Structure 1
């Protein structure tokens, strides 16, 4: 899933990608909800009060976000009231906590990620009298999602990352060549600091907390939304499953307890936030899930997108198999090269071009 929206009551734009596992439910929910939590976290106290008063009196609410959607984007209408009530509880608590200080973007991003993940967990524990919603909130909680979100406000770029999606800045050097600046760190077994963090949080489980490059031998990302199987106690998991709908009870995955499960939670949705002040040579930002980074080198990705956006395609010298090349053969090689160039820029956007 991916989302894009402009903050209407504060400055800046939000962009994000969300990679689901064990089903799409968690990625879908996070893609719909996270930006609202971020936008609310950034609001000044007087705006929060104004919104709450509007709800109490039944007046129209100030729009918080302007979404930039594709016509085929799906939003869950059935869950909208549930989502709104949880968001309202959050802004009411922010009103009560009034510190008089302006929340900075980094703090807002961290608080929003953690609060939404907490709400996903709480909604699943409480359940819902509506059978569809009751099953939905459980599906969301028992599946999982990574998230990589950028907040861009003028020259100020913040990237909040939870999991193994990635953000990459495309930089055009003075000679026209392209270079890549990584704007996030993967939270997986390739990140030694993440392994050390998990071992320090579970000191008596150093041999089992990460096995075969996976959390408890099962999960690739070391941070994620949802995935309550790696967060809840065994008793809570059993209690929720036993009281839940039959579809949940019949699901072998939800009933399965991870091995060596002694000191939960093993998983967190807390993001790592990186700040960068944009320069004139910073030309674009790529947000993508791990499937892209596993397939292509970051330098190649930036070069391909940069060439697409500028319309300038740097060709490699023609390699020939020997010295005896006829003029006809050379003409054939040049015609092939020209045909490749003409097809390079046929796509309507850079993402489609990169996939091709």
Structure 2
């Protein structure tokens, strides 16, 4: 079986190409990897990159500058791209509206924006139920960060991760600090929380093939979407059988509510890495922070992804140069879609206040390749 699989993979490899980067940000040596090397935001610079593994890219991301500061979003879709695309389209505008209503940024602003985006996707799923019931099993992890004056607001639902990179001038060391909580059943604390909330359900978390899953179906316990595990109306035909529970859904077993924290930034806080779980599967927090700190800013997000891909290839006892030639879809057997945004923080700009720059969307948009954009 393994021999047959490797033959199939070999048939999909392309001949080696010389390294170059296209005008659209794609890496000509690896056409599934693209990004922008360095852009500006309200209080510094940022670099982002994406590598596609699935047949259809399920990740989305954005960096926006508003009157309150800089907004960063990384959305890791699963089951399909629709939920991540919905989040990418509606979450930021919802944050803007809530900031205007509340008179400033807060965790409540972010929680309300998550709820409103969840409601927006619910409407989409409900309207499409009879013609596209599979949308009920589509969801997206959602990690956001907002730099507002000298504060960093982090809101997360799912297993993407934000890591703060700081330099201690007292000790001369680089510090990696994880600043988001993950919601994955592989984490004992998450399992214990699920057991506590569902004492009457011994099957709330099930170990299948060595992986802990909520109801034996999904690893994450929080997300936007995944209504088949939140609302009984969607856990029935015409949804395909493998997503339907053997007993009626009494109450939601997943949540869209993010965990939110607020960090007061200091001059030693130099950058934040926002990334989907595909990066952290292969790099530790400290390894990622050390890479960012020890290399030039331009192209740093792309460098992080390449480091992760090198580790993924090593785990399969293959060369990185061979991994890069594998087609999307087949590539998913080796690594996940990975999205990385590295946000550098300029202490001088932080001290000036929130800023009102509006050049991010027009000069440095985060776009997927034209060939992968939704049609219609």
Please say whether Structure 1 and Structure 2 have the same fold, judged by a TM-score greater than 0.5.
yes
1:228-253 CA deviation, whole Å, 9 max, x = no partner? 111120x4444xx65xxxxxx7xx36
Query: Which of residues 142, 145, 157 in structure 1 aligns to 2:140?
Result: 145
1:191 CA displacement = 3.5
1:11 matched to which residue of 2? Answer: 68
The equivalences for 1:23-102 within 5 A come to 23-44=80-101, 102=103
Question: What TM-score do you get using the length of structure 1 for normalisation?
Answer: 0.63
Quick check: which has more Rg, 1 or 2? 1
CA contact (8 A) 1:170 1:282 kept: yes
1:116 matched to which residue of 2? Answer: 117
Gaps of 5+ in 1: 45-100, 243-248, 311-347
The 3 A distance-change label for structure 1 pair 118 and 307 is same
3-state SS in 2 of match to 1:266: coil
Q: Supply the distance in 2 between the matched residues of 1:113 and 1:17 (Cα, whole angstroms).
A: 13
The equivalences for 1:249-260 within 5 A come to 252=240, 256-259=243-246
| Structure 1 moving runs of 4+ over 6 Å | none
The 3 A distance-change label for structure 1 pair 260 and 185 is farther
3-state SS in 2 of match to 1:203: coil
Q: Which has the higher contact order (CA 8 A, sep 6+)?
A: 2
Question: What TM-score do you get using the length of structure 2 for normalisation?
Answer: 0.60
Q: Supply the distance in 1 between the matched residues of 2:255 and 2:104 (Cα, whole angstroms).
A: 22
Query: Which of residues 286, 303, 309 in structure 2 aligns to 1:353?
Result: 303
1:195-231 CA deviation, whole Å, 9 max, x = no partner? 23322322201x2001111101110111011111111
The 3 A distance-change label for structure 1 pair 139 and 2 is farther
CA contact (8 A) 1:41 1:111 kept: yes
1:167 CA displacement = 0.3
The 3 A distance-change label for structure 1 pair 114 and 193 is farther
The 3 A distance-change label for structure 1 pair 124 and 262 is closer
Q: Supply the distance in 2 between the matched residues of 1:349 and 1:309 (Cα, whole angstroms).
A: 8
3-state SS in 2 of match to 1:147: strand
Query: Which of residues 289, 308, 318 in structure 1 aligns to 2:276?
Result: 289
1:2 corresponds to 2:1: no
Query: Which of residues 267, 286, 311 in structure 1 aligns to 2:254?
Result: 267
1:74 matched to which residue of 2? Answer: none
1:20 CA displacement = 1.0
1:177 corresponds to 2:178: no
2:228 matched to which residue of 1? Answer: 229
The 3 A distance-change label for structure 1 pair 307 and 214 is same
The 3 A distance-change label for structure 1 pair 309 and 263 is farther
1:36-81 CA deviation, whole Å, 9 max, x = no partner? 111111113xxxxxxxxxxxxxxxxxxxxxxxxxxxxxxxxxxxxx
Gaps of 5+ in 2: 1-59, 307-376
Q: Supply the distance in 2 between the matched residues of 1:168 and 1:112 (Cα, whole angstroms).
A: 22
CA contact (8 A) 1:37 1:112 kept: yes
CA contact (8 A) 1:25 1:143 kept: yes
1:34 CA displacement = 1.0
3-state SS in 1 of match to 2:294: helix
The 3 A distance-change label for structure 1 pair 140 and 277 is farther
1:307-356 CA deviation, whole Å, 9 max, x = no partner? 1147xxxxxxxxxxxxxxxxxxxxxxxxxxxxxxxxxxxxx411011122
Q: Supply the distance in 1 between the matched residues of 2:287 and 2:221 (Cα, whole angstroms).
A: 27
Q: Supply the distance in 2 between the matched residues of 1:309 and 1:285 (Cα, whole angstroms).
A: 15
CA contact (8 A) 1:15 1:151 kept: yes
Two-structure CA RMSD over aligned residues (Å): 2.4
CA contact (8 A) 1:120 1:141 kept: no
3-state SS in 2 of match to 1:204: coil
Q: Supply the distance in 1 between the matched residues of 2:272 and 2:148 (Cα, whole angstroms).
A: 14
Q: Supply the distance in 2 between the matched residues of 1:116 and 1:196 (Cα, whole angstroms).
A: 28
Q: Supply the distance in 2 between the matched residues of 1:144 and 1:201 (Cα, whole angstroms).
A: 22
Q: Write 1 or 2 for the structure with the bigger share of helix.
A: 1
1:193 corresponds to 2:189: yes
